[in-house]
């Protein structure tokens, strides 16, 4: 890792790349772009897609979930974990939309992406390559997912809905033999959270019944 400090105090554009296991799959020509996501350092642009691997001249197989986060901060150290944490907040929406599990992606790359820069800070972490064994997956409807993301973001109980969606993502991760207790726990929490949010929405938007 190179760590050239920013002596001018100006904000530079940094790019952080993450990848990890996922049963949510994008088509080769599709991606979900989230523009101007608020963060403590300013707006971030995030792209979610599937990495495709060439295994033979005419054979391409889907790999892991690929995430790119762009934003402006002063140093690479300020970008790595905060950018990654912001990207993780969208994973429950992807998992809920596709009804498929998403694992825990890790940071693989981070670097100064400012145009015209001759010396760039960079970070690289080893992540094991994908296996050649095909894994089950489910395609995601990108327009529908974008609409779902906007709807939840505009909802008065958006934080509660996101917590419920994340519990559902965790339940899907545990959906295998021997993990029934974990799955039930997360599913129960997810259902309770969404039911409570729906009840609150209805109580605020609908007049009370007076029994007449």
Question: Residue 82 pLDDT > 70, yes or no?
Answer: yes
Question: Residue 13 pLDDT > 80, yes or no?
Answer: yes
Domain boundaries along the sequence of the chain: 1-150, 155-202
CB 85 within 8 A of CB 69: no
Residue 184, pLDDT score: 44
pLDDT tens, residue by residue, 25-68? 999 999 999 999 999 889 999 999 999 988 888 888 899 999 99
CB 91 within 8 A of CB 169: yes
Coil, strand or helix: which one is 64? strand
pLDDT tens, residue by residue, 158-204? 888 888 888 888 888 876 544 444 444 444 444 454 554 444 343 33
CA distances from 140 to 98, 130, 199, 211 (A): 5, 20, 29, 45
Query: Measured between alpha carbons, how far is 73 from 3 in angstroms, rounded to an integer?
Result: 14
Residue 156, pLDDT score: 87
How many alpha carbons fall within 13 Å on the CB side of residue 81? Answer: 2
Q: Which residues, at least 6 apart from 151, have a Cβ–Cβ distance to it below 8 Å?
A: none
Query: Measured between alpha carbons, how far is 110 from 123 in angstroms, rounded to an integer?
Result: 5
pTM score above 0.85:
no
In terms of C-beta density within 10 A (0-12 exposed, 13-18 middle, 19 or more buried), how is residue 72 classed?
middle
Give me the residue label for tokens 């707006």.
Answer: 43
């Amino acid at each position: 890792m190179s760590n050239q400090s920013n002596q001018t105090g100006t904000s530079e554009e940094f790019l952080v790349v993450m990848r990890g296991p996922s049963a949510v799959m994008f088509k080769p020509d599709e991606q979900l772009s989230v523009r101007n996501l608020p963060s403590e350092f300013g707006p971030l642009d995030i792209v979610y897609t599937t990495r495709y691997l060439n295994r033979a001249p005419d054979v391409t197989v889907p790999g892991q979930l690929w995430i790119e986060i762009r934003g402006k901060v002063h140093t690479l150290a300020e970008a790595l974990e905060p950018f990654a944490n912001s990207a993780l907040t969208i994973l429950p929406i992807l998992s809920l939309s596709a009804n498929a599990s998403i694992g825990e992606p890790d940071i693989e790359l981070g670097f100064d992406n400012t145009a015209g820069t001759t010396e760039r800070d960079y970070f690289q972490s080893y992540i094991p390559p994908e296996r050649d064994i095909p894994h089950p997956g489910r395609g995601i409807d990108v327009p529908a997912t974008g609409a779902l993301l906007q709807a939840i973001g505009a909802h008065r109980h958006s934080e509660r809905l996101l917590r419920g969606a994340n519990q559902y993502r965790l339940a899907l991760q545990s959906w295998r033999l021997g993990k029934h207790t974990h799955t039930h726990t997360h599913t129960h929490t997810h259902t309770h959270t969404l039911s409570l949010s729906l009840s609150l929405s209805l109580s605020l938007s609908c007049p009370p019944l007076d029994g007449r």
